[in-house]
Structure 1
């Protein structure tokens, strides 16, 4: 699923796109005995992320040559360079199985499965950072997107309702809220991408751990009658037809949704945690007002789950280059970034730590609530992250569903067709 590339974690310190590090030249010389690492990085990296490279240079004596790749279309640009045979020593990339599989990781990436950070990151690597072979190929250092609902505390309390922890509970509360003239679930057809949130979240919660594997080996299809994705699309249509969503759903943006929940015109917004800064902006920078008014809860279909999507920024891969010295140095950088330098990065960035042994930073009550929801778990990655194509075509299909121009079954069947095209392009066996 695509979402706005310009909305970053609330506690991140945003850097200027394309910054060059002092001392990180493109030369391969440097001090005697040092190694120069070529790094492909996303131009939306924060100052704190860029400073990890500077800190590594000082600590190791090695040099870092930063090669910027625009955040707009980052994955496609990187894959084009990759397909041409170009290889860096390190790179940021999406730590999802669907994207990792495009790199032929067994042949092209260093296996990080036995590194200390994997076990020290709790449940994170149960569904993230791994290839389809089950091996870990990415070191994830940035707190992931956590999907759930922002809710208006006063609206729920005034109507005798507790914050929902499942989509089923949201549906059950719809009659009460509608009777009070309040929109239950603010939804943003005008922004497009948020409309895929509920079907994918609901479907993930309904799916077995090996469901993506059954799609890939063709023993199941997205459009099967027992497909968890189809269940999520059916649930979306039910909430829509029951009048539980925004009356202006076709044109409303996710920023409109934020304003509606903050003002109490709507009770819930189902979306990822990284839009927390938008609530502060909508409150004219009054974070205390946001903390007093807005809460956050992770939700599953019928039971509470922390459904996540790790991002590109701060997710490191070490390609195999055939140069054993540089490969060892790349691994050394990953150990530095996930080990001795990690507390410094967390302190500078203000983001939450994923690796045990590092304290949480001081931040807003809303962000603390998001982190607590993640810690409570159980943690699972959204289902599309393990599928070829990652369901990138779902947004226009959701627009058609909202307009009544298609059905949940048709959406699932079309996504299966698109998945097949992506699987063939990746050369997956049997496709």
Structure 2
């Protein structure tokens, strides 16, 4: 794969999903979209106008590996703006007119409504019946099931982003530091770097979520992978002492100045640039940043100098370092109304071929198993692929199961943790109160 193909990724979907950018912000007309499902003569797909990767990949498959499926049921596509997405899906669902395949709802709670109403296909059974259940990687399956709160797969992972600490290999080597495997290692590394005049962490404190991600990861490493679900279910609160401890741990990094003096004014692009020009040793970010890392114009430290470390263990914690923080960008769902024999044929072909095609053509790492991975993958991309392939399960990001207000309050105040002006207790009280208000 060439650098040019890696640069085609224009949108860090995982970042936007985690930051709540897929929430509905406008209402639009109800025209356009998709025809009702159940028509064996076509295979209908509805997506967001802003995302062209999925539809282009489907079109490529229709002209190649899925040519027989295309001939039997030609792919027909349509799109609407992302700002109208959830409202449009609700309207189509109410009319029994969801497309055969479409991007899933932007909010997990709406997706759950579709599932409860029996409008979304049980893909665990469908893939098993087709003999291709093994084409979904365990980490991707775990992420989707956690999002929708069940033991059944209801969407396909057209993208799979993992998160962790990217690091400057040379800066660590120059200071006698190895990639951290425990939180204590990470804190010690930060202290060593700071003493040597090297900023330990680049972080977009202005956006907030790159800092709050650390809180969520610490929680699941310390209390176990179901700790944030317990909060969503009302069985625990973020203000409980064991949860506050996670925010306190991140706040301590902020008070020590390890994120820099002005982290509250640093946005996503500035933090990325800081890391890629050698201004910081560690950068917590998702694998959607591969496009930046593999771009020689942006990456002044060199792609071979970028390493990856999974979020470290918390000493004595109930979680495990191999439970990788992940998200699936915008997964796609299949409607029960449109699930026919020809749709099943398309599903089988997609499961078998999507992963290889989207990686080769668009540089996107998906949650599908690869049959013939490209031989010339950049080292960073290969690292991500290896982590995904070997991860037994995944964990969600901090705000994944929060209310919209809780998400906004969390991310608005993430910078306060990063610059040490908020204590862990103050931060958790703000977020818990916002979640309680709905």
What range is the shorter-chain TM-score in? 0.7 to 0.9
Q: Which has the higher contact order (CA 8 A, sep 6+)?
A: 2
d(CA) in 2 for partners of 1:223, 1:50: 49
Residue 332 in structure 1 maps to residue 345 in structure 2: yes
Compared with structure 1, are the counterparts of its residues 74 and 419 closer, same or farther at alpha carbon in structure 2 (3 Å cutoff)? farther
d(CA) in 2 for partners of 1:420, 1:407: 20
Residues 97 and 128, structure 1, Cα contact 8 Å, conserved in 2: no
How far has the Cα of 1:96 moved from its partner? Answer: 8.2
How far has the Cα of 1:111 moved from its partner? Answer: 0.7
d(CA) in 2 for partners of 1:331, 1:406: 52
d(CA) in 2 for partners of 1:76, 1:95: 6
RMSD: 3.5
Q: What corresponds to 1:40 in structure 2? A: 46
Query: Please, what TM-score do these two structures have when normalized by structure 1?
Result: 0.78
Structure 1 consecutive aligned stretches of length 4 or more whose deviation exceeds 6 Å: 25-28
Query: Please, what TM-score do these two structures have when normalized by structure 2?
Result: 0.77
Q: What corresponds to 2:248 in structure 1? A: 234
Q: What corresponds to 1:59 in structure 2? A: 69
After the TM superposition, which residues 309-348 of structure 1 pair with which residues of structure 2 at under 5 Å, given as runs? 309-312=327-330, 315-321=331-337, 326-339=339-352, 343-348=356-361
After the TM superposition, which residues 286-297 of structure 1 pair with which residues of structure 2 at under 5 Å, given as runs? 290-297=302-309
d(CA) in 1 for partners of 2:416, 2:254: 13
After the TM superposition, which residues 81-230 of structure 1 pair with which residues of structure 2 at under 5 Å, given as runs? 81=91, 85=95, 87-93=98-104, 100-105=111-116, 107-114=118-125, 115-116=127-128, 117-125=132-140, 127-130=142-145, 131-142=148-159, 144-227=160-243, 230=244
Compared with structure 1, are the counterparts of its residues 386 and 82 closer, same or farther at alpha carbon in structure 2 (3 Å cutoff)? farther
How many equivalent pairs are there?
Answer: 392
Contiguous gaps of at least 5 residues in structure 2: 12-32, 315-319
Contiguous gaps of at least 5 residues in structure 1: 1-8, 17-24, 423-431
d(CA) in 1 for partners of 2:9, 2:229: 37
Residue 372 in structure 1 maps to residue 386 in structure 2: yes
How far has the Cα of 1:177 moved from its partner? Answer: 0.7
How far has the Cα of 1:173 moved from its partner? Answer: 1.1
Compared with structure 1, are the counterparts of its residues 80 and 402 closer, same or farther at alpha carbon in structure 2 (3 Å cutoff)? farther
Q: What corresponds to 2:412 in structure 1? A: 396
Compared with structure 1, are the counterparts of its residues 27 and 231 closer, same or farther at alpha carbon in structure 2 (3 Å cutoff)? closer
